[in-house]
Structure 1
């Protein structure tokens, strides 16, 4: 992701690793003196708060001595500001406390649900980040994905400059699927797609249910229901898998990115990514960028404008992850919720990881196809999934299970009937139809 803007102001030496936002300067710098701060005293929502004295409002009160601070030691974290009306934003100033974000992004949204990224970095170093951005929206969000210290994320102040912004702001709406709904996806062929669910309901490979599944995954992977906006996404999230990219998080270190580019090249020889195939083969199984930098991310984004490449991303997602996971869930006698639980596990842990999680669950319970209770089985499966997630620091936040899948299970919504409401990393989402 491209770096926009510049660093200025007082840098703060920090040694924190693993939390969210942090601002570390007292007072306003001369750089922020000009123009009207559109974020000043506007309504704020945050993912978490370290203590009552560090609320989100402290980051927009214009004071250099008060701050917002997130829960210590937890990624991901965010602060969202309601600017009150549609606003053109061309500059954002972040004043970090000692607990800063090493990796974060700045986003804008019209509805508080579907977000457009206007800045990102994976090399933040605290101090004051004075960022040149370009975008419009009512809501501004700073989303931290990797802490720079062992604490949390802490910001003395978040400032926004541009044109517009209401003088009074109404409360932020609950995330709504209707605002970000995209056309229904076509189902991919599956050998077991005709299998009838146990209760006569609809399987996850039904077009409408599949669209729901894609949105659920995107809420956890991309903090947005608009999964189609992710074809061009690419970054190294420092999880030991090299570059992560595209709608399903294809990784240069795990083989699926290599398979994808090979499939794309078979369909369209001479494409912009084809010259990187030798490097992708070389780095497979490692976190190395050797042979990929500096041009690969830009080439990926260029390829994402090609319908052949986006269609290949979808077909590889279905071939490697969606179809096998759904087929196994059907064999186990599971309805749409269980099929989704398998698919989401495959997305994060790979097909082998899904098999390992299922094996761990089999030590505790039996799936319906073997005479077990569906609720008991899914609880055992989700227990095993969360245990597996906690083994990796990058995946240790289990809310995509605990406040998403397990919420649906506790509600008895085995067929994923809408409306659906859930949260991931403390952020609310909903699909109304």
Structure 2
């Protein structure tokens, strides 16, 4: 479970004509025309094109960059009490998901450069300690990121722990691609369990508004979910900036862009982004 690391990583993505980070862009989601292609909204966020958009949206908030694939080698302690934060989704040494990642990597590729740190990762789990890790672990993490098997392990654990559970819950609630992304982003930041976790946010939202699966309006329900999540974020100093909701997700809801169709424009922390 990650905490935003915008202060530590201010790289801005420039990906040519079809994808650009555009400082100063107005934070609004355009409502594009209908898409008759096979990769349409019916597939939701599992459609590869929309999943790619979701990865870029999350990266704009987590990394201040749309280039999420450059984050496989990222690792540092950002002082949030979770130890090291690393990789494409902010796996943390203090919250268990980093340990599970290295365990999965080691089961797929025994003898890898990170396997020797498993005992230390088990000991520091639940704390911000670096004991048994330190600069050697940082160097080896960066070295492991050059290994395709480790990158695939990060993808696997991202999907298993965050993406797939979020999309399943959103589908159960009758939500389209936008709602699935809203759930995924919340799962990434808050994790599933605990008093401030995704499941608690979802329960509170369902008490405020009916989901589409229960006959409710999609926009009304998503606004209720975002209201609850915003309050949850405000309770933690590391999450005080809620622009990933206020000038991104909320704008998509206002535009009625429940299929998450491009072009998309949004702002996070005052920086503008666009996906065409």
TM-score, normalised relative to structure 2: 0.87
Deviation (angstroms), 1:372: 1.2
Tell me what 2:221 maps to.
Answer: 377
Aligned partners of 2:255, 2:125: CA distance in 1, in Å?
42
1:382-422 deviation line (CA, Å, top 9, x unaligned): 00111111111111100011111001000110001100000
Contact preservation (8 Å) 1:202, 1:415:
no
Tell me what 1:410 maps to.
Answer: 254
Tell me what 1:253 maps to.
Answer: 94
SS at match of 1:315: helix
Deviation (angstroms), 1:270: 1.0
Contact preservation (8 Å) 2:102, 2:115:
yes
Stretches of structure 2 that go unaligned for 5 or more consecutive residues are 22-39
SS at match of 1:334: coil
Q: What does 1:292-311 correspond to in 2, within 5 Å?
A: 292-311=133-152
Aligned partners of 1:226, 1:200: CA distance in 2, in Å?
24
Contact preservation (8 Å) 1:113, 1:176:
no
- CA gap 1:179/1:403 in 2 versus in 1, 3 angstroms: closer
Tell me what 1:427 maps to.
Answer: 271
Aligned partners of 1:76, 1:343: CA distance in 2, in Å?
18
Q: Does 1:339 align with 2:183?
A: no
Deviation (angstroms), 1:265: 0.4
Tell me what 2:30 maps to.
Answer: none
Q: Does 1:366 align with 2:228?
A: no
Contact preservation (8 Å) 2:178, 2:257:
yes
Q: Does 1:290 align with 2:131?
A: yes
- CA gap 1:405/1:230 in 2 versus in 1, 3 angstroms: same
Stretches of structure 1 that go unaligned for 5 or more consecutive residues are 1-74, 78-102, 116-174, 181-198
Tell me what 2:13 maps to.
Answer: 113
Aligned partners of 2:189, 2:80: CA distance in 1, in Å?
12
| Total equivalences in the alignment | 252
Contact preservation (8 Å) 2:5, 2:78:
no
1:294-344 deviation line (CA, Å, top 9, x unaligned): 311111000000000000000110011000100110010000000000000
Aligned partners of 1:294, 1:76: CA distance in 2, in Å?
19
Q: Does 1:265 align with 2:265?
A: no
SS at match of 1:430: strand
- CA gap 1:403/1:176 in 2 versus in 1, 3 angstroms: farther
Given the alignment, which residue of 118, 125, 131 partners 1:277? 118
Whichever structure has more helix as a proportion of its residues is: 2
Contact preservation (8 Å) 1:76, 1:425:
no
Query: Larger C-alpha radius of gyration, 1 or 2?
Result: 1
- CA gap 1:225/1:106 in 2 versus in 1, 3 angstroms: closer
Aligned partners of 1:76, 1:266: CA distance in 2, in Å?
29
Deviation (angstroms), 1:268: 0.9
Q: Does 1:400 align with 2:244?
A: yes
Q: What does 1:21-420 correspond to in 2, within 5 Å?
A: 104=8, 107=11, 113-114=13-14, 177-178=18-19, 201-352=42-193, 353-420=197-264
Tell me what 1:196 maps to.
Answer: none
Aligned partners of 2:9, 2:226: CA distance in 1, in Å?
30
Contact preservation (8 Å) 1:421, 1:429:
yes
Aligned partners of 1:211, 1:399: CA distance in 2, in Å?
21
TM-score, normalised relative to structure 1: 0.56
Aligned partners of 1:380, 1:313: CA distance in 2, in Å?
32
Kindly report structure 1 stretches of 4+ aligned residues shifted beyond 3 Å.
103-107, 112-115, 199-202
- CA gap 1:246/1:176 in 2 versus in 1, 3 angstroms: farther
Aligned partners of 2:60, 2:177: CA distance in 1, in Å?
18
SS at match of 1:416: coil
